[in-house]
Amino acid sequence: MDQETREYLERMLLGLTTKEDLEKLRQETKSNFRQLKEESKNQILEWKQEVKADLEQLRKGEAGQSDPMRKEFRDGMEELKIQTRSALDQSFEKIGTLLQEIKEEGEVASSNVRQGPNIEVSGLKDGIESLREGIKEVTEEILYIKDKMKDGFVEVQTELGSMIRFSYADLEKKFSALEARIKALEKMVFP
């Protein structure tokens, strides 16, 4: 069939259709459009609820991830406390023994003074010198532990900072993607 014949037959069919047929067709089209619009709205509402649920789940997941980090941080702090206490205890023991030695040397020196003018000042000087060395060693140990604690804090702080930045960046990407999907759906439903 050629083009002209087809167009003629279509015009004839249009002439044969009644107003009732056109009204039925219009109402069917309207009802189909309303039904499609309602379905789209319902689907968008479902997606919004899913997005909200996903975001809530992500937030809970972030809290769950930070718990192991907090536990690790607390464990590290406890370990540092234990090390510091043991170092301080050792230092106090050294100081106690040095003081005991000085006391003993002082008693020996005082007994020597009572015995005569021969005083052993060199023994007392040695005791004081060993006390100074002991105090110096204890101070160095405390400074070493203090530096180690600072390094540990800096390391933990950088790790936590990078993990938090990563989590927020990841969360922001997912949130942006979900917003883009919602906007696209809204454009499809509400032109």
Among residues of the chain, what percentage have pLDDT more than 70?
78
DSSP state of 117: S
Among residues of the chain, what percentage have pLDDT more than 90?
0
Rounded CA-CA distance 110/121 in Å is 11
**CB 80, CB 152: distance < 8 Å:** yes
Nearest to 87 by CA among 146, 151, 156, 154: 146
Alpha-carbon distances, residue 133 vs 24, 86, 98, 127 (angstroms): 107, 19, 10, 10
- Report the pLDDT averaged over residues 37-64: 80
**Tokens representing 74?**
């607390």
What do you get for the CA distance between the two ends of the chain, in Å?
A: 39
Confidence of residue 3 (pLDDT cuts 50, 70, 90): confident
What is the per-residue pLDDT for 166? 66
Residue 21 has pLDDT above 80, yes or no: no
Q: Say which residue, 168 or 101, is predicted with more confidence.
A: 101
Confidence of residue 117 (pLDDT cuts 50, 70, 90): very low
Alpha helices in the chain (DSSP H): 3-16, 19-115, 121-189
Q: Which residues of 101-128 are buried (b: 16+ CB within 10 A; e: fewer)?
A: bbeebeeebeeeeeeeeeeeeebeeebe
Mean pLDDT of the chain: 77
Q: Say which residue, 149 or 62, is predicted with more confidence.
A: 149
Rounded CA-CA distance 68/117 in Å is 71
Confidence of residue 118 (pLDDT cuts 50, 70, 90): very low
Look up the pTM and report it. 0.33
What is the per-residue pLDDT for 78? 85
- pLDDT for 167-181, tens place per residue? 677 778 888 888 888
Q: Say which residue, 120 or 51, is predicted with more confidence.
A: 51
